[in-house]
Chain A
Amino acid sequence: MKKTFLTILSVSVLVLSGCESMLERYPLNGPSTGTFPASEEEALSGVLVSYKNLANSVKQYSPFPTRFTDNLTDIGTVRTGLSNWNLFVTSTLTQTTGDATYLYGRIYKTVGRIHLVLDNLDNIKDKMSEETYLQFKAELLCLRAYVYDQGCQYYGDIPFIDHCLSLDDYAYPRMSKEEVIDRILRDMDDTMIDALPVRWPKAEWGTCRLGRAAAYTLKARICLNWGRYAEAAKYAAKAMELSEGVYALEPLDCTYYANDTVEGEPSASNLFGFAGETCDEWMWAIQFDRLAATNTHSMVYTYSSRVANGAAGCGPSQALMDTFQCTDGKSITESPLYDWQDPWNHRDPRLDLYCLRPGTRINNVQYSTLPSVKQVRDYNTGAMVNNSDTNGNKSEYGPNGTKGPGGYLWRKFADKAYYGETLTTSYEDELDVCIIRYAELLLIDAEANIEMDGGDLRRAQNDINQIRSRVKMPKVTAMEREGLRSALRYERTVELCAEGFRWFDIRRWKDSDGKTLAETVMNGPQYAPAFTGALSNAKPSISSDWTVSYDSASTWNGADFNLRTLVTMYYRTGKDELWPLPDSEIRSNPAINQEDQNPGY
C-alpha cells in the first residue's frame, strides 16, 4: 500500500513537471510587444498609428474637440437636451463630466503610441537612412507637441510625459504650461523639421502626414496661442515662404448668396467638402475613410438639417449671424445697407457659405423652419417632400422650429455628395477633418505681426485682405494696430467659425479693459429666433472686438424684443478658463491630488 502510494506520488510529480508545457498558450491573432518596432516598416506603421489616434479622438458629436468646441462658445449653439453640452456654458462642469475629461485621456493615448516608437527608434537607427530617421522623429515630436498644446489650452498645467510608462513608473505631477510649451517648442527643433519634405507626395499621402510647411505653421500656432508673438511671426513667415507655389487659398464661389439662393445653393464644399481634401489650401488633416476599420465619424449627421437626413444638432447662434458684416465692410448696426426685414441681403457672402439659414437650400432641398411650411421642394427630383425640419415625426421636439438648436445650422462641412444618404448615428461619415489650412496660416501671421512689438502691420493687413478678397469683401484700410486688431478678430471669428478655434480665442483675447472676451460673451442669455420663425427685430450692439450683445429694450422697430432665450450662459472667472482634470487621474495618480485640481472644481 505504502509502495503504491509512493509510486502514485512520484508519477504525479513527473506529470506535474511536464504540465507546464501542456499549459503554454500564446496569442494566435497578432504579434506581442517585445522588440517593436524592429524595422523601418514597423516604425512607419507605428508612426501612422499615432496619426490614426487623432481620428480616434472622435467623441460622439465629433470630431471633438477639434471643431465641436465652437458650439460651446458665444458663436455656436447645441440643441437643448443633446447630451450634457449645456454644462459647458453654464459653469456646471465637474471632474466627473466625461465629455470634459475625455480629451485628457486621448492626449496621453496618442503620447503613449508616439513613445512606443520613439523610445525604440534609436535602436534601429542603422536600419534606415538618416533622413528617414529624422523624419520619423520630427513627425512624432510635432504630433506630441500638437496634443500637448491642446492639453495646455483645455487643462492648463499637465504632466509632461516623454517616454513609455509602466505600472512601476507613472507618478508624474503637473508641469506648468509655460514649461510644457518651452519643452515642446524645443522638441520642434528647426533642423529636425527641415528633414521633412515641404509636403508629402499628394498621390501617396494626401494630407495625412505633417510636412515641413505644416510643421512650421503648427509651431507658429503654438507660439501665437501662448503669446510668443515674435516667434510666431518668425515661424509663420518661414511657413509662408515654404508654402509659396505649394499651398494657396482655394477660390470660393460667391454666386449664390442672399436672395439669389432661390436660384441655386451656396456651397463651400470645394474647400470644406470632399473636393477640399485634395485642394491646395489644406496643409494637414485627420484622415477618415470607410475602408479602414473604425475610421469614420458622425459629424455630418450631427450638423445636417433634418431634410438632409441629419440631426440638426448644432449651429451658429443669432450672435454669429449678426456678426457678419455688410458688403461695405461695416457692421449691421452701422451700415446703411442693412435692413432688419431683409437681413440676409448685402452681407458678407460667408454668412451663406458657412451657415445654413431658413430660405436657402441644403443638398438641393429647401430649408425652412417656418411651422406653416409643411412641405418643401427637393430640387434634385423637383418633388415636394415632407418638411421634416418642422413637421411630424420627431414630436418630442414639438412640431416647430425647436428641432434645431436655434433655427440656424452649420453649412460649412455640408457636401452634396451626401445627398440621398441616410445618415445615421452609427458613424458613417468619412469627410477628412482639416487641422491646418493656409487661411489660418495667414491669420496667424497677421495676428503675430499686429501683437508683437515692431510687427509688420502692412504684412498683417495684406494677410487679412487676401482672405477678404476671396469672398469679394472690401479690403481693410486701417493701418494702425487697434484697427487691424479689430479687423483680425472679425476675420478669425468669421473665417474660422465652426473649426474649433473660438473656445480658446475668447480666453486668449483681451478687450480694451484687459478682460478676456470670454468673461463678457459667455455670460447672459444666448438667443435664437422665435418659434414662429419671425425675423429677429433685436438691435444688437457690436464691439470693436466683433462681439455681439443684446439689450431686450433695443429693437429695430420699437416693438417687443422677439428673440427667444436658448440658454443662459454663465462664466465664472477663475474657474471656467479651464476644464477639470479627470476624477480618475486624481484618484489614481499619486503625484496629482485634489488640491492640484484646476480652481473651482
Chain B
Amino acid sequence: METKISSSWRGLLLSLTLIFHLGWSLAAQNQQVTGVVKDAAGEPLAGASILVEGTVTGTQSDIDGRFSLPSSKGQVLVISFIGFETVRVPVTDQTFYEVVLDGDANFLDDVVVVGYDTQKKVNLTGAVGSLSSDVLQNKPIVQASTALQGTIPGVTVTTNGGGPGADTGNIRVRGIGTFGGSSAAPLVLIDGIEGSMNSVDATQIDKISVLKDAASSAIYGSRAANGVILITTKRAGKGRSSVSYRGYVGWQTPTTTPDTVNPVEYMILNREATENDGATSIYTDEYIADYLKNNWLDPDSFPIVNWKEHVLNGSGLTHNHNLSFSATQGKMRILTSIGYLDQKGIVKSADFQRYNFRNNINVDITDRLALRFDTSGSWGIRHYSPYQGTFFSFMNARDPLFLAEYSNGTYAPFTGGSINILPMTDNGEGGSVRSDALRFSGAMALTWKPVDWLTLEGTAAPRFTLSYTHNFTDLVTYYSDPYGTVSPIKNREYNSLRESHTNDFYGNYLFTAKVHKQFARAHDVSFLSGTSYETLDERTLSAYRRDFAYPQYQTINAGADNEFKENGGARYQWALASFFGRFNYNYKERYLFEANIRFDGSSRFAEGHRWGRFPSFSAAWRVTEEPWATPFKGVLNEFKVRGSYGKLGNQNIGSDYYPTIQTLTISSISAAGLIYPIVGLNNLANEEITWEESSMYDIGIDATLLDKFTLTADWYHKTTDGILMQLDIPATIGLTAPYQNAGVVRNIGWEIGVGYHDGRGDFTWGVDANLSDVHNKIIDMKGTASGSLLRNEEGYAINSIYGLRCIGMARTQEEADYVNANCPQYGVETMPGDLIYADIAGDFDEDGNPIPDGKVDDKDRVIIGSTIPRYTFGVTLDAGWKGFGISAQFQGVGKLNAYLNGYYTQPCVQGGTFRKEHLDRWTPETPDGKFPRLSYASELSKKNSSFWMADASYCRLKNLQLSYTLPKKMLARTRIENLTFFANATNVFTLTDYWQGYDPENMFTTSGDGVQAGATATNYPLVSTYTFGVDIKF
C-alpha cells in the first residue's frame, strides 16, 4: 500500500517507519497475536485500531476485521474504533482473539441518513448536519421545525409568531437561494416521503439529517436547491418490548410587549404635535386635569382603556402527552406511538389541539425478504378570532382614550374603519375561525436481497391531506349611548360563514436497486440506482352564506338561501418523474469518492424544457486512516478533508401549477341587474421557462481530537442561475408579467461547529457551538430592481432594506435654514426637529455613478440594510452528575437589520399612540431629543430611512433545561426501566438593541418567498414557555 504514497510524504513516512521499528525492537516479541474485531451485530469492523498498551506497537483491522501483531503474554491490547467503546484485552496464551466492540453512547449518530440510504458519518464526503433524538428530548417543542434552531451550522430558523398552531419556523439552509416566484424552503422527507416537518410529533423523531451541499442533496435533484431535511422516525429495536410515556405541562407568556404612553402623556404629546402643525388642540391643561378627574366620575365621556390587559387574557396553558409501545416478537417489530397536544393561547380566543399516531412495523419475512409497513396520521385543530391581527395592532399601537366600554358594561362603536375589539377579546364575540388539518400517510416497502451484494426495494407511499377552514364572522352589538338600548349598532351588516375544503392526494412510488461489493479487501464499491414517480391531485371546494338568523347554528344550511350565497371549486395537478443513481467508491475507507446524478421531469414545464439533469461529485480523504497516522490516532482520532461540487434544481415556482399555459379567466359582469358571463385574459404565459439551477462548491474538514473534541468546518460557494422572476414588462402589453428564467443569486458562506465532551467520575460536561455566515448577493436581475422598502437589486442581498440615509436632525433654526437653502428635502420646508437625509443621487454620469443634485427626494434612496441574518450562532452547554442534568442553549444572530415602521414605532402616525421612548423627542427646549419633532402633517421625518431601521441582532437563552433521572438501583425493584423528571424554559431572556417590545426573531412575515416588513407588529407575539414533564419507560 505504501507504493501509492506520493514522494512528498516520503520523508515523513521514513521517520514514522523508524519509530515503528524502534517500538518493535523494544518490546518482547515472543508471539504473533491474531484476531478479529466485530460490532455488536457480528459484522466485522474494518479499520479498528489495535495497540499494545504502553508501546507504540499497533495495527489496524483489515476489511474482514482481522488483525495480526506481535505481542507477549501479560501485555494488554487496546482495541478502539471511532464510534465504539474502547476494549482492553489482556494477552494470554491464546493466539486468536475475537473482540466485540459496543457502540459508544457518545457516537450514537455514527450512522447518518443520506438520500435513499444511510452512510457511516466518517465516510461522508458531503456536508451533512445531523441531529439525534436526545437533542430533541425533553424540550417542549410543539412544531418540529423550531427544533433545528441553533443546532446545526448553516441552518437558520425564523419564527413568525407564537400563535397556537401557527408557531412554525421558516427553515433556510445556507442562506436564501432564490426570490421572486420560487420557494426557498428546503425539501423535507419523513422516512423518505415528502411532507411537512410540522406534521410530525417531535417525540417521534429519531434522527434528523440536513443535506447542505450539492453533493449530498443532488440525489434529490430538482427539489434540492434549498437543501434537504431527512427525518427518520423511531422504530422498535431488537430488544425487549417496552412502554414509555412522556408528557409535560407548562404555560406561556409573551417574550416582550411594547411600552406605550399613559393617557396624560398621550394628550400632552398629541397637543404638542397639533400645535406644531399650526392648529389648536383641545387637550389644554384644563382639559387634561378635567379628564383625569372625570375619568373616575364620568368614564363614559372621559374613557381610558388598557389595551394590553384586554388583549392578553389567555392562560397560555400547554400540555403534551406521548405514549409509545414497542414490541418485538420473532420476525415482527412494532412501534406504536400516540400523541396529544393541547395549547392555549395568551389570548383567550386562540388555541390548538393536535392528535397524532404513528405505527411503524418491520417484518423479516425471510432472511432475504423484509417488509416495512408504516402508517401515520395527525389531526390538528386550530381556533382563533378573525380579528386576531387587530387585537395585536391595538395592543401595540393604539392610544388609551378610545371610548370602548361604557361604565355599565356595554360596548361603544368605533366609527369608520376601526372595530372596537373589546367584545371580541372579552367575550369571544364576533365569530371564530377553526382550521383543521388532517393528514394520513402510509408507506409500504418491500426489500429483497436476492444475493448478498444486491438489494432491491420498492416503496409505495401515498399521503392524503384534508384541510378544512370554518370562518364564521358574527355580528357584534355596540351602543351609541351608555344607558339603555336606544340605538344599538352592529359592527357589520350581516353575519356570514365561509367553509372551505381542500383535499389532496399525493402519490409517491419509488424503486431502488443497491449493489455493494468489495474487491481485494480494499476496494469498496457501491452503486445505487432508482426511479420515482410523484403525483399531486388537489381539489378545493368552498361555500359561503350570510344572514344567519340563529348564529348558534353554524352550518352552511343554517344561513339564508339568498342571492349572496356563493360557492367555488377548482382542481390542480402536477407530476414529477425521476431517475437517479449514485456511485460510491472507497479505498480502505481512506480515500472516498461519490458521484450522483438525477434526471427530473416536471409537468409544470412545457415539453422540451421539462427535463433537468443534476450531477454531483465529491471526494474525501481520511488522513487518519493512513497507516502512518496510526500512532497519532490516540490524539487525533479522526481527520477528514472533503470537497464537492454539484448542480441542483428548483421547481417550486410559486403556487402556479401551469405557468406555461395561458389560461382565460371566467367571471361575470352585471347590467340592468342581470349577470352576463365574461372571459378575459390576465396573465402572459411563457412556454420557455424551466428549472432554476444551483451549482455549489463545498470544502470542509471533520476532526475528532482526544475522543473529546470534535470540529467540523465548511466553506461553500453557491450560485443559483435562471431564477424565475416576474420581470417588469411594459404596462403597454396589458397583461401580468410571466415568469422568466432571469435572475442569478450567489451565496458564499462558511460554517463551523465545535464540540467538547468530557467527564470525570460522576460528572460529565460538554459544549457544542456553531457559527455560520453567509454572504448573499444578487448577481443579475436583468437590470431591474423591485420593491420600495424591501428591495431586490443587483449587487445587494435579497430583500435588502431600501430608503434614505439619515444623516442627522436639524437641531436649530440655523441648521434647518441651511438645509432649506442648500439641499431642500422633498420640496417642503425642513423645520428644526426634522430629520436630515443624505443627498446621494439625482443624475448619473456615463459610468452610472450617482451625482448629488442639491435636493433630497426619492432618487436619494439607497440600500441601507440587509434582512439576511449573518453570523448566526448557537451554543449548547450541558452538564450532568449522577442522574442530574442541566442544559442551556444560547442562540442568536450577529448581524441583521430590520424595519418596523408605521404607528408601531413612529410617533404621530394616523391611528397610533406614542411609545414611552417618544417622550425623548425634539422640542425647542430639548433640542437633543432622540426622536424628531412631533407632527401629524409633516411626512418628512416618517420617510423610509436609516433612522427607523433597527439592529435586530440578538442573543437569547433559547432553552434552559433541568432533568433528573432516577438511579437504576432505586428502580430495580420496580418494573420501571427509566424515570426522568424535567423542567424546561424557552426564550428565557434576550439581549438585543431591537425596538423595545418587539421580538427580533418575529420581525418579518413571509409572503411567498419575500418578506414583508412592518406587518409583523400585528403578529401574535413570540412566547416564553415554562414546562415541567416526566419521561417514564417500562
Contact = CB atoms under 8 A, between A and B. Distances in A.
B279 interface: yes
A87 to B, nearest CB: 9
A293 interface: yes
Contacts of B679: 31, 36-37, 42, 45-46, 49
Interface stretch (B36-44, B156-164, B180-188, B564-572): B564-572
Interface stretch (A133-141, A159-167, A251-259, A546-554): A159-167
Contacts of A90: 827-828
Given A30-B663, A90-B827, A584-B728, A398 B491 contact: no
Interface stretch (A417-425, A442-450, A475-483): A417-425
A117 B667 CA distance: 16
B730 A588 contact: yes
A98 to B, nearest CB: 9
A105 B662 CA distance: 20
A185 to B, nearest CB: 21
A187 to B, nearest CB: 17
Interface stretch (A11-19, A68-76, A332-340, A514-522): A11-19
Contacts, number: 284
A105 B674 contact: no
B5 interface: no
A388 B415 contact: yes
A394 B667 contact: no
Main secondary structure of the interface of B (DSSP, over half): loop
Contacts of B480: 385-386, 388
A48 B678 contact: yes
A249 B602 CA distance: 63
B677 A45 contact: yes
B601 interface: yes
Contacts of B730: 159, 165, 170-172, 585, 588-589, 592
A186 interface: no
A289 interface: yes
B661 to A, nearest CB: 5
Interface in A550-601: 564-565, 570, 582, 584-585, 587-589, 592
B414 A585 contact: no
Nearest to B667: A293
Contact of B414 (A55, A383, A393): A393
B664 A208 contact: no
A178 to B, nearest CB: 19
B386 to A, nearest CB: 12
Contacts of A29: 570-572, 663
A422 B490 contact: yes
Contacts of A130: none
Contacts of A53: 680
B664 A25 contact: no
A244 interface: no
Contacts of A44: 676
A25 B416 contact: no
A239 to B, nearest CB: 21
A22 interface: yes
B487 interface: yes
Contact of A206 (B486, B574, B672): B672
Given A48-B669, A96-B788, A108 B417 contact: no
Interface string B550-579: 000000000000011000001111111101
Contact of A28 (B412, B486, B571, B731): B571
B663 A31 contact: yes
A37 B664 CA distance: 11
Most buried by A among B572, B662, B671, B858: B671
A327 B686 CA distance: 64
B453 to A, nearest CB: 11
B607 interface: yes
A484 interface: no
Interface string A73-104: 00000001100000000111010100000001
Interface stretch (A306-314, A487-495, A500-508): A306-314
B22 interface: no
A81 B574 CA distance: 47
B586 interface: no
Q: Is the interface of A mostly helix, strand, loop or mixed?
A: loop
A112 B663 contact: no
Interface string B919-951: 000000000000000001100000000000000
B606 to A, nearest CB: 10
A83 to B, nearest CB: 10
Given A92-B827, A531-B279, A383 B487 contact: yes
B728 A206 contact: no
A292 B675 contact: yes
Interface stretch (A57-65, A197-205, A221-229): A197-205
A585 B729 CA distance: 7
Interface in B826-866: 826-828, 857-859
Given A25-B574, A28-B572, A393-B420, A293 B668 contact: yes
A369 B571 CA distance: 54
B29 interface: no
A575 to B, nearest CB: 11
B731 A585 contact: yes
A36 B738 CA distance: 20
Interface in B378-433: 399, 401-404, 412-418, 420
Nearest to A288: B670
Contact of B937 (A28, A80, A202, A375): A80
Contacts of B563: 291
A396 interface: yes
Given A204-B671, A422-B493, A25 B732 contact: no
A191 interface: no
A381 B733 contact: no
A478 B679 CA distance: 53
Given A392-B403, A395-B401, A582-B731, A23 B577 contact: yes
B735 A170 contact: no
A115 B681 CA distance: 11
Given A25-B574, A108-B734, A209-B671, A392 B858 contact: no
A510 interface: no
A291 B416 CA distance: 24
Nearest to B843: A594
A362 B504 CA distance: 52
A393 B419 CA distance: 10
B120 interface: no
A49 B680 contact: yes
A7 B553 CA distance: 65
A137 to B, nearest CB: 18
Contacts of A166: 684, 733
27 contacts: A12-B579, A16-B599, A20-B601, A25-B574, A28-B570, A31-B666, A31-B679, A32-B663, A33-B662, A45-B679, A46-B680, A52-B667, A109-B731, A112-B681, A161-B732, A166-B684, A171-B730, A172-B730, A306-B415, A306-B416, A383-B487, A388-B415, A392-B402, A396-B911, A399-B282, A422-B493, A588-B729
- When A and B form their complex, which 6 residue pairs have the shortest distance between CB atoms, in order from nearest? A112-B734, A206-B672, A289-B670, A208-B671, A589-B730, A49-B680
Interface of A: 8, 12, 15-16, 19-20, 22-33, 36-37, 42, 44-46, 48-49, 51-53, 55, 80-81, 90-92, 94, 96, 104-105, 108-113, 115-116, 159, 161, 165-167, 170-172, 202-206, 208-209, 287-295, 306-307, 309-312, 371, 374-375, 378, 381, 383-386, 388, 391-400, 402, 420-422, 424-425, 428, 531, 564-565, 570, 582, 584-585, 587-589, 592
Interface of B: 270, 274, 278-282, 301, 399, 401-404, 412-418, 420, 480-481, 486-487, 489-493, 513, 529, 531, 533, 563-564, 570-577, 579, 599, 601-604, 607, 610, 657-658, 661-681, 684, 686, 727-735, 738, 783-785, 788, 826-828, 857-859, 910-912, 936-937
Given A52-B678, A167-B684, A393-B418, 11 more contacts: A25-B573, A28-B571, A81-B937, A105-B731, A112-B735, A293-B667, A311-B416, A385-B481, A393-B412, A398-B282, A428-B493
